Amino acid sequence: MAWVTWVVCILAYLVATLHRSSLGAAAPDAIVRFDATAAQLSSLAVLQLVVYAALQIPVGVLVDRYGPRMLVAIGGVLMALGQGLLAATDDVPVAIGARMLVGAGDAATFISVLRLLPSWFSGPRLPQLSQWTGNIGQLGQLFSAVPFVWMLQHLGWTTSFASVAIVGAVVAVLVLVVVRNAPPGIVAPRTDSIQLPASWWRRLRSAIGLPGTQLGFWAHFSTQSPGTVFSLLWGFPILVSGLGYTRGEASGLVVVIIATGVVSGPILGLLSARFPARRSNLVLAIVAHMALAWAVVLLWPGTPPTAVVVWMLVAIGIGGPGSLIGFDFARTFNPIRSLGSANGFVNVGGFTASFCLMALIGIGLDVIHRIRLDAGIDAGLYDWEAFRIALSVQFLALGLGAAMLLHARRRTRRRLQEEDGVTVAPLWSALLAAIRRRRGRAGMP
């Protein structure tokens, strides 16, 4: 029953990811359908993510109080309603409201699924299952990049989004029928463990105040935002309008992100379980890799070759499963009764960075286009030179996230030493000690 529950929850998260990323796959069509500027187009995704991020902590509290099953089902219904509304409208304000419904439903899904895992599984399997959950769920992006794009091209906007809405409604019903909050005969620890509104704020404040939870927040902030910005909105315009790929070629390139996540996720899960004291080093390495890849792409003279673009997609593809390490920090440093609240706070990190970056890129594209037109340059709104400048704002988020991650890590390690007597040596010191031990063993008779 544990595995059946997990499979259904993964299906719910996969469909939520399809809902979330469908607008990014449809961005070229949305430009035509809504006759939107870059800032207006970005507002569709930005407000979706604002709602998502704003609801993470309230949803986390509700998950601790009422259990994840009901939250996942309600989230599925809200997303189906949003997609159905988007299918029927060609008005920007109505479309914004539809995407906000999608954001609200999406907010209830992933942290609720993560909250279910400790009730059904335990031990070293947990971090690996968290990685598998996140990475299999991200296959929803594959469905939005390939079959959904095909539907848009051959069946049109209304039929495509209506079909996705129907799928979402069916999965929400399946969750209600199959999923339970805990194994039979076991009372789930979250039920009635928090009396609203008496103690929810104290529990939430306690979870957020832990340096380990803050470490998870900044890990998520640093690693998730570049991939989310690309997949949820700007990826297809960058590839199609900026770099000149066809829609089919762009779909294939987006698959690189998903495939990378599927391959790297289990590896990161194993490394997190094997070296729990070095998880922050994994995060920093992922952030540095993404920054380097984006720097090469944006600084390349003229249009970067496909091999360099693929390398950048691989880098941000690793960032997706890398962000799940943030939830592993939350699980490590929080009791299960407040894990939903901690997970909600961690999940705010990456999506806060994402909607800020999306908005800044959209505004930047409009400003750059206006400046170039005023200078007498015949330039398109979404050409590569404009994207080259607008996308550089990502380095601000990567730099801030890495700096705050280091700060939170110092506080977390100090607390471990003071409360548990555990000292975590710097990575270079640990590597030198390991080398000395290996040499010592090699010299033994």
Every domain of the chain and the residues it spans:
2-182+200-439
Q: Is the pLDDT of residue 69 over 50?
A: yes
Q: How far apart are CA 11 and CA 18, in angstroms?
A: 11
Q: How far apart are CA 379 and CA 368, in angstroms?
A: 10
**Highest-scoring range by mean pLDDT, 197-201, 309-313, 422-426:** 309-313
Report whether the peptide linkage leading into residue 68 is cis, meaning its omega lies within 30 degrees of zero.
no
Q: Which pLDDT score is estimated for 272? A: 79
Q: How far apart are CA 215 and CA 18, in angstroms?
A: 29
- DSSP-derived letter for residue 334 is S
Per-residue pLDDT, averaged over 335-348, amounts to 73
Q: Which pLDDT score is estimated for 401? A: 92
Q: How far apart are CA 145 and CA 236, in angstroms?
A: 9
Per-residue pLDDT, averaged over 114-135, amounts to 75
Say which amino acid occupies 174: L
Q: Which pLDDT score is estimated for 301? A: 92
Two tokens, residue 38: 């870059």
Q: Is the pLDDT of residue 86 over 80?
A: yes
Q: Rounded to a whole number, what is the distance in angstroms from the first to the last CA of the chain? A: 53
Query: What is 2-182+200-439's CATH number?
Result: 1.20.1250.20
Poorest-confidence range of 53-57, 111-115, 204-208, 306-310? 204-208
- Which positions ≥6 away from 228 have C-beta within 8 Å? 49, 350, 351, 354
Two tokens, residue 139: 């296959």
Q: Which pLDDT score is estimated for 251? A: 85
Q: How far apart are CA 235 and CA 31, in angstroms?
A: 14
- The 3-class SS string of 192-239 reads CCCCCCCCHHHHHHHHHHCHHHHHHHHHHHHHHHHHHHHHHHHHHHHH
Percent of the chain with pLDDT over 90: 31
Long-range contacts of 315-318 (CB under 8 A, 24+ apart): 315/226, 315/289, 315/290, 316/226, 316/227, 316/230, 316/257, 316/290, 317/227, 317/256, 317/257, 317/258, 317/259, 317/260, 317/261, 317/264, 318/260, 318/261, 318/264, 318/268, 318/286, 318/289, 318/290
Q: Residues 238, 312: contact at Cβ < 8 Å?
A: no
Two tokens, residue 372: 């170039």
Poorest-confidence range of 48-57, 130-139, 148-157? 130-139
Quote the radius of gyration of the chain (alpha carbons, Å): 22
Q: Higher-confidence residue: 423 or 264?
A: 264
Q: Which residue, among 327, 287, 315, has the nearest Cα to 132 in the 3D structure?
A: 327
Q: How far is CA 380 from the centre of its chain?
A: 30
Report whether the peptide linkage leading into residue 197 is cis, meaning its omega lies within 30 degrees of zero.
yes
Poorest-confidence range of 181-195, 216-230, 393-407? 181-195
Q: Which pLDDT score is estimated for 205? A: 73
Q: What is the mean pLDDT of the chain?
A: 83
Confidence of residue 340 (pLDDT cuts 50, 70, 90): low
Q: Residues 34, 90: contact at Cβ < 8 Å?
A: yes
Two tokens, residue 82: 């949003």
Q: How far apart are CA 78 and CA 3, in angstroms?
A: 26
Burial class (CB in 10 A: 0-12, 13-18, 19+), 435: exposed
State the residue for tokens 């059946």.
4
Q: Which residue, among 8, 19, 21, 75, has the nearest Cα to 257 in the 3D structure?
A: 21
CA distances from 337 to 120, 130, 203, 366 (A): 15, 18, 9, 47
Q: Is the pLDDT of residue 303 over 50?
A: yes
Q: Which residue, among 122, 48, 394, has the nearest Cα to 273 in the 3D structure?
A: 122
Q: How far apart are CA 311 and CA 327, in angstroms?
A: 26
Q: How far apart are CA 197 and CA 340, in angstroms?
A: 16
Helix %, strand %, coil % for the chain, to 5? 85, 0, 15
